[in-house]
Amino acid sequence: MATPILTPADSATAADDLWGYVGVRVPGATTSKLYPICAAQAERIAQQIGAGAHWVAVSTLNNRALLVNTQAAPRLSVTDNLDLLDDPSAFCGAFDMDWDDGLSADDYAGLYGYLAEGGRLTGPAAFTARILSIVQQHALDDERLRGLLRVSRVHFRDGTADELPLDAQSSWALFESVQHAPERVLNLACSERGLAAFVPADQVAMIDLPLHPMRQAARAQAAEYEAEAQAVAAISRVRRVA
């Protein structure tokens, strides 16, 4: 069983410090894709590998939640020696850097708001100015923002890949199920569109999901469970009084 790496209590505002990078090479690729991670995630990766986990779950500092099939991905690398990035041969072969501009969780939340509101932002002037600066600096039009913030990617054992329109609730349900009780068949569903797509789990090398909306879905689920628990407790108290 994979060690849980994302809970509703995870802060979306306290940005973790950069510890190093996890590199994932998917089938058919000649390079590893690097994702920035904090020290806690590096420790959790080691724990999962040490426990013989079939799937390794990682949340990154650049708004991605990864599910890596250790039996299908050709290579999983972890380093805190950033000097190795200057020598690809030392980092287990060549690599590509995924989007990583040192943005905080707050920055990503602001970018989601910017996209959802069609470029209109409300809030403190300094924060609004920062988000607009990020958008302008990186020429983030709507298409590129959707690719960074909303697209989920599934990399298969045969070297192909698909982009799926998974909504936040479906992504969180998938992430939870693979962390805790991976099925032999994965449902890559999009509940908002009424889509169910069933894929053999052993044919999937990696699932790459947007992190921020999953955290929102996790919090919403936790709040719902808490409300249900409080309702049950209230009913029990009434029965005891009666």
What's the number of domains the chain is made of?
A: 1
| Contact assessment for residue 204 and residue 69, using Cβ atoms and an 8 Å cutoff | yes
| Percent of the chain clearing pLDDT 70 (strictly above) | 76
Q: Which two tokens stand for residue 130?
A: 């920062």
Average pLDDT, the chain: 80
Q: Cα–chain-centroid distance for residue 130?
A: 23
What local confidence, expressed as pLDDT, does residue 223 receive?
A: 75
Residue 12 falls inside a structural domain: no
- Global pTM reads 0.78
Residue 68 falls inside a structural domain: yes
In tens, the pLDDT along 166-202 reads: 788 888 888 888 877 777 888 887 666 677 788 899 9
Domain that holds residue 95: 20-104+141-241
* Cα radius of gyration (the chain): 19
Q: Which two tokens stand for residue 51?
A: 């426990």
**Residue 143 burial by Cβ neighbours in a 10 Å radius (0-12, 13-18, 19+):** exposed
What local confidence, expressed as pLDDT, does residue 138 receive?
A: 82
Residue 125 falls inside a structural domain: no
Distances (CA, A) of 1 to 8, 53, 150, 196: 19, 6, 27, 25
Residue 130 falls inside a structural domain: no
Over 80: is that where the pLDDT of 217 sits? Answer: no
Q: How far apart are CA 37 and CA 137, in angstroms?
A: 23
Mean pLDDT of 33-41: 90
